[in-house]
Amino acid sequence: MPVFANDWQDLLAPEFEKPYYQELRRFLVREYRTATVYPDMYDIFNAFHYTPFHNVKVVIVGQDPYHGPGQAHGMAFSVRPGIPIPPSLQNIFTELERDLGIAPPEHGNLVPWALEGVFLLNAVLTVRRGEPGSHRGKGWERFTDRVIEILGEREDPIVFFLWGQDAQAKRSLIRNPRHLVLQASHPSPLSAHRGFFGSRPFSRANAFLRAVGKKEVDWRLPRTLAELEAYLAEREAPLRARGLLPSRPARRA
């Protein structure tokens, strides 16, 4: 059974057959059976489901999923509706307001960005509850490095946001000079004042997209939970009904 119902399937199918991924899958089966692991196993690949390869305009590279209850749902920096906004995301919203004048929403759900073509990729796609970094070195980095490499080879220009040293270590995987790579410190409270604030990534990304003849990203998010629910009913539900998103949360890894 295919993992994806979009163009990521053909691009990544060879990875699923490689020994490292088979070992990673066995590790995940054990972990989900014996520990509390985030995100839910059906949400691991949501970034891919919501943003097909051909739709990618901007790539935001994160680290691990959030490791607290109810937070992670398969998209870097994003949390489920109704979950308090984590500090790094609060800082992203602060920079968004300073850059484009967009007031922060009352929630931290970035599905609208994903549907706009913002690929929210963590370097590691799973984590044990309360144990940040617990699934590093198990194979996810090899998989997501290949994803970044594929995106970095694409002829159609993309903007890459590499925030923090871990993300910036991926720079060598982005080989096509047509892409725009924007580097800054990580938006966490420990480092946001060392170069993230004032970096203006959102306006710079849109200026680049305009220059290469592409539609800008609409960085606005629904302000309230009620507006978010209405947005998802309008935009997400039809895609799910057409089979472009899973009819239930994303399948097992």
Sequence length of the chain is: 253
Domain ranges of the chain: 7-242
Q: Which residues pair with 253 in a beta bridge?
A: none
State the catalytic residues. 64
Strands 127-128 and 37-38: antiparallel
CATH number of the 7-242 domain:
3.40.470.10
Consecutive H or E run containing 121:
strand 118-122
Q: Are 201 and 209 in contact (CB under 8 A)?
A: no
Distances (CA, A) of 122 to 104, 156, 188, 193: 22, 22, 15, 22
- Cα 48 from chain centre: 8
Report, as an integer, the average pLDDT of 34-55.
Answer: 95
Within a 10 A sphere around the Cβ of 115, how many other Cβ atoms?
18
CB 178 within 8 A of CB 203: no
Give the pLDDT band of residue 226 (cuts 50, 70, 90): very high
Looking at residue 252, what is its pLDDT? Answer: 44
pLDDT of res. 16: 96
pLDDT of residue 81: 93
Q: What mean pLDDT value characterizes the chain?
A: 94
pLDDT surpassing 50 at residue 227: yes
Question: Is the predicted pLDDT of residue 253 greater than 60, yes or no?
Answer: no
Interval 99-109 mean pLDDT: 97
Task: Give the 3-state secondary structure of residue 181.
Answer: strand
Virtual torsion, Cα 78, 243, 37, 55, nearest 10 deg: -40
What is the spatial distance between Cα 207 and Cα 89, in angstroms, rounded to a whole number?
A: 23
pLDDT in tens, 105-140: 999 999 999 999 999 999 999 999 999 999 999 999
3-state DSSP assignment of residue 34: helix
Q: Is 31 helix (H, G, I), strand (E, B) or coil?
A: helix
